[in-house]
C-alpha cells in the first residue's frame, strides 16, 4: 500500500507542468515578485502563473517575454521600458489594461485581446497597428511611433486618443463621439474634422499642416493648442469654457477672445495679427499671455489699459499699445489712408505727407525704443532724419487724431 502511494505521488511530481522562461531577466523579475522560487532555471511552474491577474515587469532589461502565454488569466500587463523587439499576447485574451511602451517593437498583434479597455504602446517602432477588434477601448496611446495611417472608426467608446509624433497625414474621428481628449500633435495632418466630437475638453493638434479648423461645435473645450500650423482664421466665440489657448506660429490676422471669459493662458505670438481683442471682462485671471512678434499689431483691446501695462508690459511688441477701445481693432483709420511715406527704403530723410502728425516713435526690429518725435505744428508735411541709424528694418509708430498705425521702414 505504501509503495502504491509513493508511486502515485512521484507520478504527479513527474507530470508537473512548467512554462519555459528563456529570458533570465524576465525570470529574475518573477523571482523578485515571489512568483517563481529558487534560482533561475529557465522555467516556472504553470500553476504558479496561470491564475495571476496582474503583472508588472517594466524596466527590467527584458529582451524576450516568451512565457507570457502561460499567464492566461492576466487582466493587467505592464512590460514597458524593456528591450523587446517582438511580443506575443495572443493567449492573454482576458487583458483589460496593457502597456508595452518604450520598447523596440516593429509589429504588435492585439486582435485576440478584444476585452482591452486601455492600450498603450507609445515609443516603439510600429509602422502599422490594427485595433478594429478592440471595440471596448476607452484609452488608446500610440505616440512616438512611425504610423502612417490609423483607423479608429470601430473604437466608438474611445474617451482618450493619443497618436502624436507619428507620420499621419489624415485622421478620421467622426465616429468617436465620446472622445474627451485628443492628442494628435507632430504629425502631417492637413485637415481635421472635430465637428462630431462635441465632448472634447482637450484638443492638442499643434505642429501639423492645418490651414483651417472649425471648433465652433466643441463648446466644452478647456485646453486648445493649435500652435505651428498654417491657420489664417479661428472662431472661438462658442468656446466659452476655454481656459488655455495656444496658437503661436500660425498666419492669423485677427483674433477675438472677448467671449472667452475663463481664459487663464493665451499665447498668440508669432502670427500676422493686425487685430487682437482680449476684452472679455475678466482679464485679471489671464495669468499667462504672449502677443509678441506680431509686427502689424498696433492696438490690443483690453479691459483696463493701466492694468495691462502694469502686468503685461513685456508681453507685446513695443509698437503695440493696450487700449479699451481699438478703432477698427488695429486696422489703420481712414485718417492714414491718404498718407504718403517716402522714400522707403531710405538712406536719410523720410517724408510723411498728407497727414497732421502728433507723434512718431521709432523702434528697432527687436522692439527697442530708439527715438520719439513730437509734432506741434498743424502741417501736413513732416520729415524724419534717419541718417543716424544703421542699415536694417525699423518700425515707425505714428499717431494722429487719437488713432495710430505702424509702418515698416528700411534703412539702406
* Nearest residue to 163 via CA among 136, 192, 201: 192
Q: Which domains does the chain have, with CATH numbers?
A: 337-411 (2.60.40.3080)
pLDDT at 275 over 60: yes
Nine cell digits for residue 316: 507685446
pLDDT at residue 331 is higher than 90: no
* Mean local confidence (pLDDT), 185-204: 99
> Quick check: 57 and 38 in contact, CB under 8 A?
no
Least confident of 61-65, 135-139, 370-374, 399-403: 399-403
Tell me what the mean pLDDT of segment 189-211 comes to: 98
Contacts of 376 (CB under 8 A, 6+ apart): none
CA dihedral 304, 305, 308, 313 (to 10 degrees): 180
Summary mean pLDDT of the chain: 92
> Is pLDDT of 83 > 60?
yes
Which residues on neighbouring strands pair with residue 403, listed in sequence order? 400
pLDDT at 3 over 50: no
Does the pLDDT of residue 332 top 50, yes or no?
no
pLDDT at position 12:
42
* Per-residue pLDDT, 366: 62
The residues near 383 (Cβ < 8 Å, ≥ 6 apart) are: 349, 350, 351, 352
Weakest-pLDDT range from 188-202, 246-260, 360-374: 360-374
What is the distance between the alpha carbons of residues 400 and 344, in angstroms, rounded to a whole number? 20
Q: What is the C-alpha to C-alpha distance for residues 38 and 70, in angstroms, rounded to an integer?
A: 19
Contacts 24+ apart (CB under 8 A), 243-247: 246/206, 247/271
Q: Of 12-16, 17-21, 76-80, 142-146, which gets the smallest average pLDDT? A: 12-16
> Taking residues 10-24, what's their average pLDDT?
75
Read off the pLDDT of each residue in 276-293 and give the average, rounded to a whole number. 97
Q: How many other C-beta atoms are found inside a 10 Å radius of the C-beta of residue 26?
A: 25
Cell of 162: 493619443
Whether the pTM exceeds 0.95: the reply is: no
Report long-range pairs for 96-104 (Cβ below 8 Å, ≥24 apart).
99/58, 100/124, 101/141, 103/79
Q: Is 405's pLDDT higher than 80?
A: no
Contact 318, 295 (CB under 8 A): no
Angstrom distance (rounded) from CA 171 to CA 294: 31
**Separation CA 131–CA 127 (nearest Å):** 13
Return the closest-CA partner of residue 140 out of 97, 171, 109, 169: 97
Residue 60's beta-bridge partner residues?
none
Cis peptide bond N-terminal to 343, omega within 30 = yes
- Please give the pLDDT value at position 29: 98
Residue 104 has pLDDT above 90, yes or no: yes
Q: Across 249-258, 323-332, 336-345, which has the greatest mean pLDDT?
A: 249-258
Amino acid at each position: 500500500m505504501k509503495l502504491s502511494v509513493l508511486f502515485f505521488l512521484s507520478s504527479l511530481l513527474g507530470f508537473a507542468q512548467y512554462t519555459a522562461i528563456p529570458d533570465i531577466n524576465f525570470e529574475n523579475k518573477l523571482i523578485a515578485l515571489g512568483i517563481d522560487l529558487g534560482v533561475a532555471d529557465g522555467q516556472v511552474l504553470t500553476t504558479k502563473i496561470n491564475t495571476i491577474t496582474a503583472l508588472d515587469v517594466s524596466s527590467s532589461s527584458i529582451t524576450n517575454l516568451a512565457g507570457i502565454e502561460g499567464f492566461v488569466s492576466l487582466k493587467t500587463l505592464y512590460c514597458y521600458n524593456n528591450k523587446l523587439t517582438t511580443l506575443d499576447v495572443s493567449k492573454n485574451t482576458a487583458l483589460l489594461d496593457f502597456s508595452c511602451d518604450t520598447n523596440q517593437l516593429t509589429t504588435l498583434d492585439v486582435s485576440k485581446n478584444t476585452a482591452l479597455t486601455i492600450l498603450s504602446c507609445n515609443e516603439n517602432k510600429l509602422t502599422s497597428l490594427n485595433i478594429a477588434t478592440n471595440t471596448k477601448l476607452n484609452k488608446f496611446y500610440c505616440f512616438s511611433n512611425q504610423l502612417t495611417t490609423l483607423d479608429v472608426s470601430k473604437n466608438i467608446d474611445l474617451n482618450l486618443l493619443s497618436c502624436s509624433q507619428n507620420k499621419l497625414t489624415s485622421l478620421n474621428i467622426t465616429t468617436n463621439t465620446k472622445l474627451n481628449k485628443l492628442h494628435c500633435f507632430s504629425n502631417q495632418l492637413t485637415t481635421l474634422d472635430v465637428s462630431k466630437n462635441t465632448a472634447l475638453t482637450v484638443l492638442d493638434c499643434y505642429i501639423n499642416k492645418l490651414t483651417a479648423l472649425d471648433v465652433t461645435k466643441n463648446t466644452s473645450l478647456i485646453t486648445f493648442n493649435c500652435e505651428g500650423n498654417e491657420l489664417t482664421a479661428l472662431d472661438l466665440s462658442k468656446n466659452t469654457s476655454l481656459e488655455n489657448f495656444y496658437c503661436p506660429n500660425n498666419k492669423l490676422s485677427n483674433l477675438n477672445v472677448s467671449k472667452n471669459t475663463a481664459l487663464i493662458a493665451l499665447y498668440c505670438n508669432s502670427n500676422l495679427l493686425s487685430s487682437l481683442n482680449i476684452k472679455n471682462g475678466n482679464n485679471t485671471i489671464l495669468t499667462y499671455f504672449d502677443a509678441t512678434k506680431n509686427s502689424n499689431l498696433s492696438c490690443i483691446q483690453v479691459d483696463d489699459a493701466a492694468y495691462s501695462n502694469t502686468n503685461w508690459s513685456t508681453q507685446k511688441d513695443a509698437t503695440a499699445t493696450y487700449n479699451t477701445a481699438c478703432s477698427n481693432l488695429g486696422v489703420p483709420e481712414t485718417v492714414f489712408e491718404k498718407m504718403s511715406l517716402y522714400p522707403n527704403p531710405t538712406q536719410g530723410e523720410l517724408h510723411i505727407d498728407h497727414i497732421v502728425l502728433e507723434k512718431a516713435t521709432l523702434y528697432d526690429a527687436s522692439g527697442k525704443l530708439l527715438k520719439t518725435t513730437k509734432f506741434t505744428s498743424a502741417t501736413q508735411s513732416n520729415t524724419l532724419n534717419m541718417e543716424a541709424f544703421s542699415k536694417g528694418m525699423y518700425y515707425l509708430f505714428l499717431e494722429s487724431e487719437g488713432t495710430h498705425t505702424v509702418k515698416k521702414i528700411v534703412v539702406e
